[in-house]
Amino acid sequence: MLKSAKIRVVAIAALVMAPGMASGQTNGIASPLQHVSPTGAVTIPQAEVPSVSTLDAVQPHWVFVNRGNGQDGTRIFDGDTGKMKGMVNMYGQDSFAFDPLGKNFYVAQTLWTKQDRGTRQDVLLAYDVTSLKLVSEIPIPGRMLIGNRTHNLVITADGKKALIYNMQPSSSVNVVDLEKRTFDSKIELPGCATMFTNRLNGFSALCSNGTLATVAMNGGKPVITRSAPFFNATEDPIFDTSVIDPKTGKLTLVSYSGLITPVELGAAPKIGASWSLQQAAFMRKGTYTAMDVNWMPGGRQPIAVHHATGRIYVLMHMGEYWSEYEPALEIWVLNGNTHKLIQRHALGGELKGKLINIAVSQDANPQVYASDGSGNTFVLDAQTMEKKQKMEDSGGGILYTVQP
């Protein structure tokens, strides 16, 4: 028995070693005889052990490219090198969110037990930011199926609650307790969507009657209050990929016609006076009427904000009303504090008339990221808009940058 066991061990060891040795002879790796040191000693390549990489700490110049263009997954690219760092698993209409505590990447996902049939399963997934391994899977009672939205899965400022927008078909928000790793509660939110978290661990949402609903979540029953109407949700809608600074709760809303509305979120949001992108550029104000051609914001993700400086980057095109998803001919840079135009950058070459998504890194030396929805993501110098990197087959969806 003992002898046969030894033979078996040797045989297994030989089988384990075989692939590595064989690959050394067939995959272009030089044979041992070619590895001759100056002293004449032969260096024999060591058999390699399969391993799995981990991610470094998330860097300000990393851009997360959401799935799209037929490519699943959210790809992570280093904007300095243009190299891919890794991928967060995502499919179909899954939603993505960062963890304010920096521990996880969150994904809200829907799948069926038999792919295109069977039992529907809605879950919130938590992936470790370093290993990218799934660390938690929390069932939820449903979520809305729509792609390319930045505010359908959001995490409260304290990192303790995940808010997942749902429509089946009435509007509600499913709340997940991230500490207990369980579904917590459902908040009915009729007529509202697009959630922006505030510093009070609650959130606000845009509503179809032109108001902002604010939900206070202080442990008891959620309390919903509404602002006065301040925009027209059907005649000049606000893009639901508008931008929130999660550190300050400052919201920068942009409408189809080019109105910027600043909002300070809180228990009672302070809605600032709207100002016109076109007027900031010494043009007539954008109107949303028939056959009135003007410069307009456009794209799926048409605006980015560098929060520390208040600089606003907007994808602009020449168009009329209902051209809100048209790709950009220019990128406008504006000072969100003074409402002044800083510069207009005409896009040329492969960037002209192609870009539909824009984001900016939040460090002191920012990079601008923009993509065409067809798989190409570009890294641009934030001052000159000079193209620095091009990442092909990068996915076609929304762009995310990590918050400081």
CB of 122 to another protein, least distance (A): 11
Locate 399 and state its tokens: 């762009």
In the complex, the smallest distance separating the C-beta of residue 34 from another protein, rounded to whole angstroms, is 50
Work out whether 142 is an interface residue with another protein (CB under 8 A).
no
CB of 397 to another protein, least distance (A): 12
Which region among 75-83, 100-108, 233-241, 389-397 touches another protein (by CB under 8 A)? 233-241
Among the listed residues 148, 174, 294, 376, the single contact to another protein using CB under 8 A: 148
Instruction: By CB under 8 A, tell whether 27 contacts another protein.
Output: no
Nearest alpha-carbon partner for 401 in 17, 111, 98? 98
Between residues 129 and 144, which has the closer beta carbon with respect to another protein?
A: 144
Per DSSP, which regions of 132-242 are E strands? 134-140, 153-155, 161-167, 171-177, 182-188, 192-197, 203-207, 212-216, 223-226
Report the b/e string of 12-30 with b at 16+ CB within 10 A. eeeeeeeeeeeebeeeeee
| Smallest distance from another protein to CB 80, Å | 33
Query: Smallest distance from the beta carbon of 251 to another protein, in angstroms?
Result: 14
Measured from the CB atom, is 144 or 399 closer to another protein? 144
CA 262 to chain centroid, in Å, comes to 22
Of the pair 241, 389, the CB lying nearest another protein is at: 241
- Rounded to 5°, angle at Cα 186 from 141 and 124: 45
Least separation in angstroms between residue 277's CB and another protein is 18
- Residues 404, 402: Cα–Cα separation, whole Å: 7
Interacting residues with another protein between 354 and 393 (CB under 8 A) = none
Q: Does 307 bind another protein (CB under 8 A)?
A: no
CB of 106 to another protein, least distance (A): 19
Beta strands in 311-352 (DSSP E): 311-319, 330-335, 340-346
Residue 239 binds another protein, judged by CB under 8 A = yes
The site map against another protein for 93-122 (x = CB under 8 A) is x----------------x-x---xx--x--
Q: Using the rule CB under 8 A, is 182 a contact of another protein? A: no
φ and ψ of 261, to 5 deg? -125, 115
**Residue 10 Cβ, how far from another protein at the closest point, in Å?**
50
According to the binding rule CB under 8 A, does residue 314 interact with another protein?
no
Amino acid type, 54? T
CA angle 188, 189, 192 (to 5 degrees): 165
Which DSSP string corresponds to 243-266?
EEETTTTEEEEEBTTSEEEEEE-S
The distance of closest approach from Cβ of residue 115 to another protein in the complex, given in angstroms and rounded to an integer, is 8
CB of 215 closer than 8 Å to CB of 187:
yes
Q: Which of 267, 284, 322, 352 binds another protein (CB under 8 A)?
A: 322
Q: Tell which one of 233, 281, 283, 342 touches another protein (CB under 8 A).
A: 233
**323 makes contact with another protein (CB under 8 A):** yes
* CA dist., res. 243 & res. 403, Å (int): 12
Beta bridge partners of 371: 357, 377
State the residues that interact with another protein by CB under 8 A.
93, 110, 112, 116-117, 120, 144-149, 152, 165, 167-171, 190-194, 205-210, 232-235, 237-240, 289-291, 319-325
